């Protein structure tokens, strides 16, 4: 049994594999993603297992803004999903994230895409991420590290979702390590 104490949480539970989407389009977006990954890696209840390449991605939504840099990481965590989202929001705030506008520019954005095969719908958290199956900027990097993971709501692999995707927003792999 794994028992740890982190950020005020006592955890007596088995670990869960989770996938996180990380993105930025303000300042040095690549460095912002690197910094977010470093902060996530430093969380005591989180172990980063794999990370995708970084991708330069066309913004979605009505607001004119710079292109994003996006990537996906696979983690193992003993946080519950609500504890994990609180920890990730703490990382966002520490990095200067301000929530001013939906789909607007941001220093950093960290989303829980999948939390094991759990389906969670509360006021503060929806998992799987409700838009992930419609977004090339999520599915392209996720397919790089987890093409055969099954979406718990649709019963389709990430590769299957990407193959069927109608989103035509540009997503280009960039040569930057993080």
Active-site choice (34, 51, 106, 136): 106
**106 flagged as catalytic:** yes
Tell me how many degrees the CA angle 43-92-15 measures, rounded to the nearest 5.
35
Active-site choice (56, 97, 135, 136): 97
Cα–Cα dist 102/114, whole Å:
21
Active-site choice (34, 51, 56, 109): 109
Active-site choice (76, 111, 167, 173): 111
Query: Phi-psi category of 119—alpha, beta or left, where left has phi over 0 and alpha has psi -120 to 50?
Result: beta
In eight-state DSSP terms, residue 16 is E
Cα distances (angstroms) measured from residue 158 to each of 143, 161, 162, 170: 6, 5, 6, 18
**164 flagged as catalytic:** no
Cα–Cα dist 116/17, whole Å:
5
**109 flagged as catalytic:** yes
Among all residues, which ones are annotated catalytic?
A: 97, 106, 109, 111
């Amino acid at each position: 049994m794994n028992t740890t104490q982190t950020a005020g949480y006592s955890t007596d539970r088995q670990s869960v594999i989770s996938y996180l989407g990380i993105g930025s389009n303000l300042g040095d977006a690549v460095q912002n993603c690197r910094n977010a990954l470093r902060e996530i890696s430093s969380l005591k209840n989180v172990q980063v297992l794999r990370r995708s390449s970084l991708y330069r991605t066309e913004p979605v939504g009505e607001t004119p803004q710079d292109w994003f840099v996006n990537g996906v990481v696979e983690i193992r965590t003993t946080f519950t999903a609500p504890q994990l989202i609180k920890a990730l929001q703490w990382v966002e705030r520490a990095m200067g994230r301000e929530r001013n506008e939906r789909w607007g520019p941001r220093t950093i954005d960290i989303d829980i895409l999948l939390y094991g095969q759990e389906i969670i719908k509360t006021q503060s958290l929806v998992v799987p991420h409700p838009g992930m199956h419609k977004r090339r900027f999520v599915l392209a990097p996720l397919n790089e590290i987890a093409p055969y993971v099954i979406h718990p709501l649709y019963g389709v692999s990430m590769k299957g979702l990407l193959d069927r995707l109608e989103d035509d927003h540009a997503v280009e792999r960039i040569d930057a390590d993080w």
